[in-house]
Structure 1
């Protein structure tokens, strides 16, 4: 099915072709007509499947229709400034910039340009307030900064016709529930609402049930045919040898760029420093950086001025690096959802890639649980010269949340400790009696 058959204008079809969108992906072919006919929508598809364009293209089509309606109005009744028609909420500033870039690229051929403003924290609010003077047609925002701007009366969302939650599950994972509720209270009740994500947690399903009206549901399964071409590897290694192994793999395979995921900001700085000492250009990337530094790291990585970026899970979503050959899980993610989004940074847009996970003895059971939730089995490897000296620990009682619960069973929870303390006190009391 060509883009022209989806109900898009000739200008948008040409814009799609300009961006090498020759044929719609499965999520685009299913979602775009539903959005254009005004339905509420829950759309779930794997990372790298074209979800952003699946809502950006129909939003731009709606913009054309809205501007045409305004032109047909009596001159005296036309709004004095642009009214926010579409609001796109995203969890991170990186994703806000990515969506904004996609919007601007696809809007270039429109006969009347849409005014699009991306607003997010980590940078001065004043330039964003200046950009919002005269209103805006489409706003891409992180929840906290959007509320700041509303409180300062820099914009109003009372006229929003379409709300998009992009990476809806991540918005809730990152603790935006209160901000979301405040924003939703300010939106008109009659609107179109679209939820897009690669995964949907129970919390998002509950929110959708509350906010959406008779929503259509589109779920594109990651079938072997549609799945990204990602070779998954799991290498057994001692914790102390991971950096040396990482360096060995980079040199052996000649990876031009590698995105390495670690568990903490300290680890990001530490591993990047070690790689630089070994002659590999690397940089850390985490949430403590100011926006300017974060943007510079990503810019240098895209331009191949950096060979390695060592990141916390902040980078798992919202960063689109074209032709990224490899992703390495230096530390395993806490959840299967994060695993999906991490490895989805490679093998995008029809490219192939490799995703390597370092499996230490302490986390062997956790990786088996990730495999179980992923419905796949990744053969264990050992690399000559890096064979682990520690035996893999077995923790059959461990469980892992498929969404964001992290590792359970490896360390005692607060409830477990309270139960043990109560049992011990009861035993001591029985002995005393």
Structure 2
């Protein structure tokens, strides 16, 4: 899809996607589900179908159950590799749901009980039942739902013996949050999983290498995992987290055991950045630059550049509470950062490394100078000019052979180049 990197719809940031180092509590999955309410009403109006003769059989391969003390409810997700059914059972009691008891939609918060792979295609229920059962390997579930479009499902889940997953992590980001928790917040991920670890009581210089951190060292509300395909939470029972010095940075070995007893062995090996094979300079003028300043609401700032003649687009998003500053790849939000080389480029060039300086001028003007090493090993030197950015006299771009003439006009020093005039600071005079 074109322009997946834009922050024009800032609300999209509420969705959990790997790459962010904004601290996200594991309750965010349930909170995000509230977005579906407006979507469901639209979906059911446009896509309502006649009820089917019988329910569709759905065998769930994964189940998670989590208690949310703030709402007094058990949030149960039954899913397979592509979609999920969610049941938000209000009990006002942290004791697990009663085995053999059938809970109905009347026992549930309908706003958080829905079907779909994500909030973008969520469909609510007009009827639902959920029955937890004691199985040989844990809690089994049987459920039924009737969707607002008339379709009905019979869902079953049979708990299996705990499994072990070896997960190769492809991206790691971290951010230090300081007082009061003095915590380093880590985001690990690949195309299938996202894992977050919030290690508290640490120094700003970084965590201790070769030390094993456990769940006792972490803030549990911000330490959790997620299966990206189904949005199912991975609730940690225990964690062993170790960082070591690698050949090209920091390597990590992490073992997570979830509350089902499944084990996830996470490994990340740092890789040296490739040398650029080419350097390309791209300057976006004031007319070609947009700035989305969500620093106060989302802790994000995005510079956008667009070349109408070629269709080239660039998006660079920083995790920050202010616009101006010095930034590295650790400050970049990868999901909303990329370059499209032309109007026919729908894949974009992802960033392997980013360093940037954003300078603030008067009247809300900014210049962002970004070194962007792309996955195609091209170094893009991007300059975004937002607002009335002053230009040094020596840097003024003119046609070949046209000399700059310094003169006095209305008592002020004016530099005239061709048909253009600039003040002593290099700002264009209209």
On whether the aligned pair clears a TM of 0.5, the verdict is: no
Tell which has more relative contact order, 1 or 2 (C-alpha 8 A, sep 6+). 1
Of Structure 1 and Structure 2, the greater strand share is in 2
Larger radius of gyration: 2
Short-chain TM bin: under 0.3
Structure having the higher helix fraction is 1
